[in-house]
Structure 1
Amino acid sequence: MSKRGRGSRDERERKAIKLIEAALYVSGRPLDLKTLGSVSGLRSKRTLTKLIKQLKESYANRESAIEIVELEDGRYVMQLKTEYTAKVRKLAVRPLLTTGPLKTLSYIAFRQPVSQSQVVAVRGTHAYAHIKELERMGLIRRKKEGRESIITTTEFFSDYFGLSRHLPKLKEQLKKILFGKEDSKLTP
Protein backbone atom coordinates (compact mmCIF):
# COMPACT_ATOMS: atom_id res chain seq x y z
CA MET A 1 0.00 0.00 0.00
CA SER A 2 1.27 3.46 -0.79
CA LYS A 3 2.17 5.92 1.95
CA ARG A 4 -0.63 8.14 0.70
CA GLY A 5 -3.21 5.34 1.02
CA ARG A 6 -1.98 4.32 4.48
CA GLY A 7 -1.95 7.92 5.69
CA SER A 8 -5.47 8.40 4.46
CA ARG A 9 -6.64 5.22 6.24
CA ASP A 10 -4.87 6.23 9.47
CA GLU A 11 -6.55 9.62 9.31
CA ARG A 12 -9.98 8.00 8.78
CA GLU A 13 -9.36 5.69 11.73
CA ARG A 14 -8.30 8.57 14.00
CA LYS A 15 -11.46 10.43 13.03
CA ALA A 16 -13.55 7.28 13.60
CA ILE A 17 -12.05 6.83 17.10
CA LYS A 18 -12.98 10.42 17.95
CA LEU A 19 -16.54 9.88 16.70
CA ILE A 20 -16.85 6.66 18.72
CA GLU A 21 -15.59 8.49 21.81
CA ALA A 22 -18.02 11.37 21.23
CA ALA A 23 -20.95 8.98 20.75
CA LEU A 24 -20.18 7.09 23.97
CA TYR A 25 -19.79 10.36 25.87
CA VAL A 26 -22.94 12.04 24.58
CA SER A 27 -25.23 9.02 24.78
CA GLY A 28 -24.67 8.35 28.48
CA ARG A 29 -25.78 4.76 27.88
CA PRO A 30 -24.37 1.58 26.36
CA LEU A 31 -24.17 1.49 22.56
CA ASP A 32 -23.95 -1.53 20.28
CA LEU A 33 -21.52 -2.03 17.40
CA LYS A 34 -24.20 -1.25 14.83
CA THR A 35 -24.81 2.19 16.35
CA LEU A 36 -21.11 2.93 16.77
CA GLY A 37 -20.47 1.79 13.20
CA SER A 38 -23.20 4.07 11.92
CA VAL A 39 -21.84 7.08 13.82
CA SER A 40 -18.22 6.45 12.84
CA GLY A 41 -18.93 5.49 9.25
CA LEU A 42 -17.25 2.11 9.67
CA ARG A 43 -18.84 -1.00 8.21
CA SER A 44 -16.22 -3.54 9.21
CA LYS A 45 -17.02 -5.08 12.58
CA ARG A 46 -13.38 -6.13 12.89
CA THR A 47 -12.05 -2.60 12.31
CA LEU A 48 -14.66 -1.13 14.62
CA THR A 49 -13.78 -3.58 17.41
CA LYS A 50 -10.06 -2.85 16.90
CA LEU A 51 -10.63 0.91 17.21
CA ILE A 52 -12.82 0.56 20.29
CA LYS A 53 -10.09 -1.56 21.87
CA GLN A 54 -7.56 1.19 21.09
CA LEU A 55 -9.85 3.76 22.69
CA LYS A 56 -10.32 1.58 25.79
CA GLU A 57 -6.55 1.13 26.08
CA SER A 58 -6.02 4.87 25.66
CA TYR A 59 -8.21 5.56 28.71
CA ALA A 60 -6.57 2.75 30.69
CA ASN A 61 -3.02 3.87 29.84
CA ARG A 62 -3.56 7.42 31.02
CA GLU A 63 -5.16 6.15 34.25
CA SER A 64 -8.25 8.25 33.67
CA ALA A 65 -11.20 8.43 36.05
CA ILE A 66 -13.28 7.52 33.00
CA GLU A 67 -13.36 4.04 31.53
CA ILE A 68 -14.88 2.36 28.52
CA VAL A 69 -16.40 -0.98 29.40
CA GLU A 70 -17.60 -3.76 27.14
CA LEU A 71 -20.75 -5.29 28.57
CA GLU A 72 -21.39 -9.01 28.30
CA ASP A 73 -23.94 -8.45 25.53
CA GLY A 74 -21.30 -6.79 23.34
CA ARG A 75 -22.35 -3.18 23.93
CA TYR A 76 -19.94 -0.49 25.10
CA VAL A 77 -20.39 2.25 27.69
CA MET A 78 -18.27 5.19 28.85
CA GLN A 79 -18.56 5.60 32.58
CA LEU A 80 -16.93 7.00 35.67
CA LYS A 81 -14.83 4.43 37.52
CA THR A 82 -16.58 3.18 40.64
CA GLU A 83 -13.95 4.51 43.04
CA TYR A 84 -14.66 8.12 41.96
CA THR A 85 -18.45 8.05 41.87
CA ALA A 86 -19.10 8.73 45.58
CA LYS A 87 -16.64 11.63 45.69
CA VAL A 88 -18.12 13.55 42.76
CA ARG A 89 -21.79 12.53 42.86
CA LYS A 90 -22.69 15.80 44.63
CA LEU A 91 -21.41 17.77 41.66
CA ALA A 92 -23.96 16.34 39.25
CA VAL A 93 -26.26 19.09 38.04
CA ARG A 94 -29.35 17.24 39.15
CA PRO A 95 -29.22 13.72 40.50
CA LEU A 96 -31.45 11.18 38.82
CA LEU A 97 -32.98 10.23 42.16
CA THR A 98 -33.14 11.63 45.67
CA THR A 99 -31.90 9.47 48.54
CA GLY A 100 -35.24 7.81 49.44
CA PRO A 101 -36.14 6.49 45.98
CA LEU A 102 -32.50 5.55 45.40
CA LYS A 103 -32.48 3.40 48.55
CA THR A 104 -35.75 1.79 47.47
CA LEU A 105 -34.32 1.12 44.01
CA SER A 106 -31.17 -0.37 45.55
CA TYR A 107 -33.26 -2.70 47.68
CA ILE A 108 -35.34 -3.78 44.68
CA ALA A 109 -32.26 -4.33 42.50
CA PHE A 110 -30.51 -6.40 45.16
CA ARG A 111 -33.55 -8.48 46.19
CA GLN A 112 -35.35 -8.85 42.85
CA PRO A 113 -37.70 -10.32 41.96
CA VAL A 114 -39.32 -8.93 45.08
CA SER A 115 -42.93 -8.40 46.11
CA GLN A 116 -44.20 -4.87 46.56
CA SER A 117 -45.40 -5.77 50.05
CA GLN A 118 -41.88 -6.86 51.01
CA VAL A 119 -40.43 -3.57 49.72
CA VAL A 120 -43.01 -1.60 51.72
CA ALA A 121 -42.39 -3.74 54.83
CA VAL A 122 -38.67 -2.93 54.69
CA ARG A 123 -38.70 0.63 53.33
CA GLY A 124 -41.95 1.91 54.89
CA THR A 125 -45.17 3.24 53.40
CA HIS A 126 -43.28 6.02 51.58
CA ALA A 127 -42.03 3.23 49.31
CA TYR A 128 -45.38 3.30 47.46
CA ALA A 129 -44.52 6.76 46.11
CA HIS A 130 -40.95 5.66 45.36
CA ILE A 131 -42.18 2.62 43.42
CA LYS A 132 -44.55 4.79 41.41
CA GLU A 133 -41.74 7.25 40.59
CA LEU A 134 -39.26 4.49 39.70
CA GLU A 135 -41.82 2.83 37.44
CA ARG A 136 -42.62 6.15 35.74
CA MET A 137 -38.90 6.64 35.09
CA GLY A 138 -38.67 3.20 33.50
CA LEU A 139 -36.21 1.84 36.08
CA ILE A 140 -38.51 -0.89 37.42
CA ARG A 141 -41.54 -2.84 36.28
CA ARG A 142 -44.41 -4.30 38.28
CA LYS A 143 -46.10 -7.51 37.28
CA LYS A 144 -49.27 -8.78 38.92
CA GLU A 145 -49.07 -12.35 40.19
CA GLY A 146 -52.37 -13.13 41.84
CA ARG A 147 -53.02 -10.43 44.39
CA GLU A 148 -49.37 -9.47 44.65
CA SER A 149 -47.20 -7.17 42.53
CA ILE A 150 -43.73 -8.51 41.78
CA ILE A 151 -41.08 -5.89 41.06
CA THR A 152 -37.95 -6.22 38.94
CA THR A 153 -35.54 -3.76 37.38
CA THR A 154 -35.68 -3.02 33.65
CA GLU A 155 -33.10 -3.13 30.88
CA PHE A 156 -33.05 0.67 31.07
CA PHE A 157 -31.95 0.36 34.72
CA SER A 158 -29.08 -1.91 33.70
CA ASP A 159 -28.10 0.35 30.82
CA TYR A 160 -28.28 3.55 32.85
CA PHE A 161 -26.12 2.22 35.67
CA GLY A 162 -23.81 0.22 33.41
CA LEU A 163 -24.83 -3.12 34.92
CA SER A 164 -25.49 -6.49 33.37
CA ARG A 165 -28.95 -7.30 32.07
CA HIS A 166 -28.58 -10.86 33.36
CA LEU A 167 -29.87 -11.15 36.93
CA PRO A 168 -27.17 -13.39 38.45
CA LYS A 169 -24.38 -11.23 37.02
CA LEU A 170 -26.20 -8.02 38.02
CA LYS A 171 -26.46 -9.24 41.62
CA GLU A 172 -22.73 -10.08 41.67
CA GLN A 173 -21.96 -6.58 40.37
CA LEU A 174 -24.15 -5.05 43.09
CA LYS A 175 -22.43 -7.15 45.78
CA LYS A 176 -19.08 -5.90 44.55
CA ILE A 177 -20.28 -2.28 44.62
CA LEU A 178 -21.98 -2.53 48.02
CA PHE A 179 -19.55 -4.81 49.82
CA GLY A 180 -16.39 -4.40 47.77
CA LYS A 181 -16.09 -8.11 47.15
CA GLU A 182 -16.24 -10.08 43.92
CA ASP A 183 -17.91 -13.17 45.38
CA SER A 184 -19.40 -11.95 48.62
CA LYS A 185 -20.80 -14.68 50.85
CA LEU A 186 -23.58 -12.32 51.86
CA THR A 187 -26.85 -13.39 50.32
CA PRO A 188 -29.24 -10.96 48.73
Structure 2
Amino acid sequence: MPRLASKIEAILYLKAQPLTVAEIAEFAECDRETAAEGLLELMTDYAHRDSALEVAETPNGYTLQLRETFHHLVQTLVPADLGLGALRTLAAIALRGPISQTELVELRGSGAYQHVPELVELGFVRKRRQSDGRSYWLQVTNKFHQYFQMNQLPQEFDQHVKAKP
Protein backbone atom coordinates (compact mmCIF):
# COMPACT_ATOMS: atom_id res chain seq x y z
CA MET A 1 0.00 0.00 0.00
CA PRO A 2 1.44 3.43 -0.95
CA ARG A 3 2.41 6.02 1.66
CA LEU A 4 -0.35 8.49 2.48
CA ALA A 5 1.87 11.34 1.23
CA SER A 6 2.14 9.60 -2.16
CA LYS A 7 -1.61 9.13 -2.29
CA ILE A 8 -2.14 12.83 -1.50
CA GLU A 9 0.36 13.72 -4.22
CA ALA A 10 -1.67 11.67 -6.71
CA ILE A 11 -4.90 13.33 -5.54
CA LEU A 12 -3.46 16.85 -5.96
CA TYR A 13 -2.08 15.93 -9.38
CA LEU A 14 -5.32 14.39 -10.62
CA LYS A 15 -7.62 17.11 -9.25
CA ALA A 16 -5.36 19.88 -10.64
CA GLN A 17 -7.00 22.50 -8.42
CA PRO A 18 -6.62 23.69 -4.83
CA LEU A 19 -8.16 21.32 -2.26
CA THR A 20 -8.91 21.85 1.41
CA VAL A 21 -7.63 19.42 4.03
CA ALA A 22 -11.21 18.15 4.40
CA GLU A 23 -11.42 17.42 0.66
CA ILE A 24 -8.02 15.72 0.69
CA ALA A 25 -9.11 13.61 3.68
CA GLU A 26 -12.29 12.61 1.85
CA PHE A 27 -10.44 11.55 -1.31
CA ALA A 28 -7.68 9.82 0.70
CA GLU A 29 -10.31 8.06 2.82
CA CYS A 30 -8.83 9.16 6.14
CA ASP A 31 -9.57 11.68 8.89
CA ARG A 32 -8.52 15.33 8.63
CA GLU A 33 -5.70 15.05 11.16
CA THR A 34 -4.14 12.13 9.28
CA ALA A 35 -4.57 13.99 5.97
CA ALA A 36 -2.90 17.09 7.46
CA GLU A 37 0.05 14.95 8.62
CA GLY A 38 0.36 13.34 5.17
CA LEU A 39 0.14 16.75 3.51
CA LEU A 40 2.88 18.10 5.79
CA GLU A 41 5.07 15.10 4.94
CA LEU A 42 4.49 15.69 1.22
CA MET A 43 5.25 19.41 1.52
CA THR A 44 8.46 18.60 3.40
CA ASP A 45 9.44 16.06 0.71
CA TYR A 46 8.98 18.67 -2.03
CA ALA A 47 10.82 21.33 -0.02
CA HIS A 48 13.91 19.09 0.04
CA ARG A 49 13.75 17.99 -3.60
CA ASP A 50 15.37 19.68 -6.55
CA SER A 51 12.04 19.60 -8.39
CA ALA A 52 10.14 21.86 -10.75
CA LEU A 53 6.99 21.21 -8.69
CA GLU A 54 5.93 22.21 -5.21
CA VAL A 55 2.96 21.74 -2.91
CA ALA A 56 1.69 25.19 -2.00
CA GLU A 57 -1.04 26.55 0.23
CA THR A 58 -3.33 29.00 -1.58
CA PRO A 59 -6.38 30.90 -0.33
CA ASN A 60 -8.52 28.06 -1.75
CA GLY A 61 -6.52 25.13 -0.37
CA TYR A 62 -3.43 23.10 -1.21
CA THR A 63 -2.24 22.53 -4.76
CA LEU A 64 0.55 20.84 -6.67
CA GLN A 65 2.02 23.53 -8.88
CA LEU A 66 5.02 24.63 -10.89
CA ARG A 67 7.66 26.46 -8.84
CA GLU A 68 7.78 30.18 -9.56
CA THR A 69 11.28 29.92 -11.05
CA PHE A 70 9.78 27.88 -13.92
CA HIS A 71 6.77 30.12 -14.68
CA HIS A 72 8.55 31.64 -17.68
CA LEU A 73 8.32 28.22 -19.37
CA VAL A 74 4.52 28.31 -19.21
CA GLN A 75 4.31 31.35 -21.51
CA THR A 76 7.03 29.93 -23.75
CA LEU A 77 5.68 26.40 -24.05
CA VAL A 78 1.95 26.99 -23.63
CA PRO A 79 1.12 30.23 -25.42
CA ALA A 80 -2.51 31.32 -25.45
CA ASP A 81 -3.99 33.50 -28.13
CA LEU A 82 -7.28 34.65 -26.63
CA GLY A 83 -9.44 37.51 -27.77
CA LEU A 84 -10.77 40.13 -25.37
CA GLY A 85 -14.21 38.48 -25.13
CA ALA A 86 -12.75 35.06 -24.32
CA LEU A 87 -10.42 36.62 -21.73
CA ARG A 88 -13.38 38.35 -20.07
CA THR A 89 -15.33 35.10 -20.08
CA LEU A 90 -12.32 33.34 -18.54
CA ALA A 91 -12.10 36.07 -15.88
CA ALA A 92 -15.81 35.61 -15.09
CA ILE A 93 -15.31 31.87 -14.62
CA ALA A 94 -12.25 32.48 -12.44
CA LEU A 95 -14.03 35.04 -10.26
CA ARG A 96 -17.37 33.28 -9.94
CA GLY A 97 -16.40 29.64 -10.42
CA PRO A 98 -17.59 27.15 -10.19
CA ILE A 99 -20.34 28.79 -12.20
CA SER A 100 -23.07 27.22 -14.27
CA GLN A 101 -22.90 27.83 -18.00
CA THR A 102 -26.43 29.28 -17.75
CA GLU A 103 -25.28 31.86 -15.18
CA LEU A 104 -22.21 32.62 -17.27
CA VAL A 105 -24.34 33.35 -20.35
CA GLU A 106 -26.60 35.59 -18.24
CA LEU A 107 -23.52 37.46 -17.02
CA ARG A 108 -21.51 37.61 -20.26
CA GLY A 109 -24.09 37.21 -23.03
CA SER A 110 -24.53 34.55 -25.69
CA GLY A 111 -20.94 35.01 -26.92
CA ALA A 112 -19.91 32.90 -23.94
CA TYR A 113 -21.23 29.85 -25.82
CA GLN A 114 -18.37 30.30 -28.34
CA HIS A 115 -15.77 31.12 -25.68
CA VAL A 116 -16.32 28.07 -23.44
CA PRO A 117 -15.27 25.37 -25.96
CA GLU A 118 -12.14 27.39 -26.81
CA LEU A 119 -11.24 27.78 -23.12
CA VAL A 120 -11.85 24.07 -22.49
CA GLU A 121 -9.70 23.10 -25.49
CA LEU A 122 -6.87 25.33 -24.26
CA GLY A 123 -7.11 23.63 -20.88
CA PHE A 124 -7.97 26.77 -18.88
CA VAL A 125 -11.52 25.65 -18.01
CA ARG A 126 -13.02 22.35 -16.86
CA LYS A 127 -16.61 21.63 -17.87
CA ARG A 128 -18.79 19.00 -16.20
CA ARG A 129 -22.51 18.29 -16.54
CA GLN A 130 -24.72 19.33 -13.63
CA SER A 131 -26.57 16.57 -11.79
CA ASP A 132 -29.91 17.63 -13.32
CA GLY A 133 -28.33 17.38 -16.79
CA ARG A 134 -29.53 20.80 -17.93
CA SER A 135 -26.32 22.81 -17.88
CA TYR A 136 -22.63 22.50 -17.11
CA TRP A 137 -20.48 23.59 -14.19
CA LEU A 138 -17.46 25.59 -15.32
CA GLN A 139 -14.31 26.26 -13.32
CA VAL A 140 -10.73 27.21 -14.03
CA THR A 141 -8.02 24.56 -13.99
CA ASN A 142 -4.56 24.44 -12.48
CA LYS A 143 -3.22 25.35 -15.93
CA PHE A 144 -5.08 28.67 -15.65
CA HIS A 145 -3.35 29.40 -12.32
CA GLN A 146 0.04 28.37 -13.68
CA TYR A 147 -0.29 30.29 -16.94
CA PHE A 148 -1.53 33.51 -15.38
CA GLN A 149 0.68 33.05 -12.28
CA MET A 150 -2.08 33.74 -9.80
CA ASN A 151 -3.91 31.84 -7.14
CA GLN A 152 -6.67 34.38 -6.54
CA LEU A 153 -7.94 37.27 -8.65
CA PRO A 154 -8.26 40.69 -7.03
CA GLN A 155 -11.87 41.82 -6.59
CA GLU A 156 -11.39 44.99 -8.68
CA PHE A 157 -11.38 42.80 -11.80
CA ASP A 158 -15.00 41.89 -11.09
CA GLN A 159 -16.27 45.11 -12.65
CA HIS A 160 -14.50 44.34 -15.94
CA VAL A 161 -16.09 40.90 -16.20
CA LYS A 162 -19.58 42.34 -16.66
CA ALA A 163 -18.50 44.47 -19.63
CA LYS A 164 -19.43 42.75 -22.89
CA PRO A 165 -17.12 43.27 -25.90
Once the two structures are superposed, residues 121-143 of structure 1 have per-residue CA deviations (whole angstroms, 9 ceiling, x without a partner) of xxxxxxxxx96644454769xxx
For residues 3-28 of structure 1, what are the alpha-carbon distances to aligned partners after superposition, in whole Å with 9 as ceiling and x for unaligned?
xxxxxxxxx7x621111001111222
Q: CA RMSD in A?
A: 4.3
Q: Does 1:69 align with 2:59?
A: no
Q: What CA distance in whole angstroms lies between the structure 2 residues aligned with 1:165 and 1:52?
A: 21
**TM-score (structure 1 length as normaliser):** 0.47
Q: How does 1:5-154 map to 2 (within 5 A)?
A: 15-43=3-31, 45-73=32-60, 75-87=61-73, 95=78, 98-101=80-83, 105=87, 109=91, 133-136=114-117, 137=119
Relative distance call for 1:23 and 1:170 in structure 2 (3 A) is farther
* Higher CA-based Rg: 1
The Cα offsets for residues 68-126 of structure 1, whole Å up to 9 and x where unpaired, read as: 111113x21111123213336655xxx5x7324499628x85xxx9xxxxxxxxxxxxx
- What is the distance in 2 between the residues matched to 1:78 and 1:102? 29
Question: Where does the alignment leave 5 or more consecutive residues of structure 1 unmatched?
Answer: 1-11, 114-129, 141-154, 172-188
Aligned equivalents of 2:84, 2:44: Cα separation in 1: 33
Aligned sequence identity (%):
21
Instruction: Using structure 2 for the length normalisation, give the TM-score.
Output: 0.53
SS at match of 1:36: helix
- C-alpha distance in structure 1 between counterparts of 2:28 and 2:80, whole Å: 36
Higher relative contact order (Cα pairs below 8 Å, separated by 6+ residues): 2
